[in-house]
């Protein structure tokens, strides 16, 4: 049995270790954190909106989403998973041919904060290679899955010529929900960004990281509703919103 003083020391050590672990987890996951390395979030321009989609390509939603974006003449950004891109190369080319920006979302969608250095290198290199082989051109943009990163992951991304991109508004659409819930989640983020004088970098999903075929019809419908709502919001203030991709903030 430990003496009382030793028990106090052990308890304090455990508490400190938990606090350090919590801080590492927060700084390695929070989309606004820059502690582990610089990541792009949004420009100081509240008239700009970037629509970004993760986890594709996905036959069950990506083509429908492309139709909505074309109808509204909006250019978006798609962060694609390498293993799905290899299975659906024609859909990747369709996204690019429609004029949208394509970035990497790693090869298999792991939480990079928890990966070894070797796994991080493999995920980034294989994800990039899949997209570059299909597109025949370099990929310059990268979104870490879950926003999870650590300094080595960001250094490795930059060594490959990738700019890490996070977000400041989230649809919470990776699970079954309604278009209205997705729209309201993003609108709250948009309102917060407006108060801060920031552009809105809106995160949605056109796929699911566990496999092809994920139902993202709620995200497609929310996209159409949000574009119309944003345009009406700014028109009522005699302003014009601009839909951009991260290239505009580089």
Q: What DSSP assignment string belongs to 153-164? A: HHHHHHHTTPEE
The answer to whether the Cα torsion of 117, 120, 122, 125 is positive or negative is negative
* Cβ–Cβ < 8 Å for 229, 72: no
* Cβ–Cβ < 8 Å for 134, 95: no
Q: Determine phi and psi for 100, rounding to 5 degrees.
A: -85, 155
Q: Determine phi and psi for 89, rounding to 5 degrees.
A: -60, -35
Alpha helices in 175-247 (DSSP H): 179-195, 217-235
- Give residue 37's pLDDT: 73
Q: CB within 8 A of 35, min separation 6: which ones?
A: 27
Report the catalytic residues. Answer: 54, 205
pTM to 2 decimal places: 0.89
- Give residue 1's pLDDT: 53
Regions of the chain short of the pLDDT cut 70 = 1-29, 32-34, 36
Q: What is the pLDDT of residues 145-161, one digit of tens each?
A: 999 999 999 999 999 99
- Give residue 34's pLDDT: 67
DSSP 121-187: HHHHHHHHHHHHHHHSS---EE--GGG---HHHHHHHHHTTPEEB--SEE---SSS--HHHHHHHHH
Using DSSP, state whether 30 is helix, strand or coil: coil
- Give residue 211's pLDDT: 97
Separation of alpha carbons 200 and 81, rounded Å: 23
Encode burial over 40-61: b for 16+ CB neighbours within 10 A, e otherwise: bbbbeebebbbbbbbbbbbbbb
- Give residue 20's pLDDT: 37
- Give residue 55's pLDDT: 98
* DSSP character at residue 192: H
Q: Given the structure tokens 């798609």, which residue do they identify?
A: 78
């Amino acid at each position: 049995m430990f003496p009382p003083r030793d028990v106090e020391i052990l308890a304090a050590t455990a508490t400190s270790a938990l606090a350090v672990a919590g801080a590492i987890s927060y700084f390695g996951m929070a989309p606004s954190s820059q502690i582990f390395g610089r990541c792009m979030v949004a420009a100081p321009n509240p008239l700009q909106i970037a629509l970004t989609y993760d986890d594709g390509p996905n036959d069950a939603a990506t083509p429908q989403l492309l139709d909505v974006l074309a109808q509204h003449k909006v250019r978006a950004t798609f962060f694609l998973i390498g293993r799905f891109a290899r299975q659906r190369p024609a859909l990747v080319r369709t996204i690019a041919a429609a004029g949208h920006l394509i970035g990497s979302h790693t090869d298999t969608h792991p939480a990079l904060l928890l990966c070894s250095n070797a796994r991080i290198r493999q995920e980034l290199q294989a994800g990039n290679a899949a997209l570059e082989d299909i597109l025949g051109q370099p990929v310059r943009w990268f979104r870490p899955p879950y926003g999870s990163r650590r300094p080595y992951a960001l250094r490795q991304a930059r060594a490959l010529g990738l700019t890490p991109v996070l977000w400041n508004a989230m649809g919470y659409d990776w699970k079954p929900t309604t278009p209205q819930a997705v729209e309201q989640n993003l609108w709250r983020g948009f309102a917060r960004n407006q108060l801060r004088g920031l552009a809105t970098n809106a995160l949605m999903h056109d796929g699911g990281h566990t496999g092809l075929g994920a139902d993202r019809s709620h995200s497609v419908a929310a996209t159409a509703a949000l574009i119309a709502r944003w345009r009406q919001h700014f028109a009522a203030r005699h302003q014009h919103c601009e839909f951009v991709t991260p290239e505009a903030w580089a």
